[in-house]
Amino acid sequence: MQIKLIKFNEVDGVWSLLYEGLNAACQKCPDISLSFLWQQCRTGNAWLFVAYDKSSLVYHSAAVCVVDNWNGVDKLRVLAAYGGKSPKTWMESFQTPTNYLAALGCSSVVFDGRLGLQKRIPNVKMLRAVYEVEPNGR
């Protein structure tokens, strides 16, 4: 499994291959849309990483990422990701491209997710929680 950063001018060429998986990821995180991800990748405001089989050039998974600054420290934030048929394989693959983190000046990878991810990903720690309050207690 290889990790590749898709250049912004190549996004349209691979998007149709990744559309279903990224759309499924967006359905699980309703605060982000597939069209937003596509626009961010096409304009170069977000990076599209793919994991693929080098021998067959089949894309197995993808992640759309941006650099966020957290208290003066840059981190690579995953906006959306899907793992194809094996999320575990994706997470293992994505942890290997430390050269991307160093090149981007990032100290780590951050992402939103369910509490169950703590059981699946070694060395993960919760950084924050998201709350919602309706006006007038409705």
The region of weakest confidence among 14-18, 118-122, 125-129, 133-137 is: 118-122
* The predicted structure's pLDDT at residue 84: 65
What pLDDT band is residue 34 in, cutting at 50, 70 and 90? very high
pLDDT over 60 at 96, yes or no: no
Q: How many domains does the chain have?
A: 1
What is the domain-level CATH number for residue 85?
Answer: 3.40.630.30
| E-assigned strand segments in the chain | 2-6, 47-53, 58-70, 73-82, 109-111
Domain coverage including residue 37: 2-137
pLDDT over 90 at 93, yes or no: no
Q: Mean pLDDT across the stretch 69-86?
A: 84
Name the token pair of 95.
């942890």
DSSP reduced 3-state for 74 = strand
* The predicted structure's pLDDT at residue 12: 94
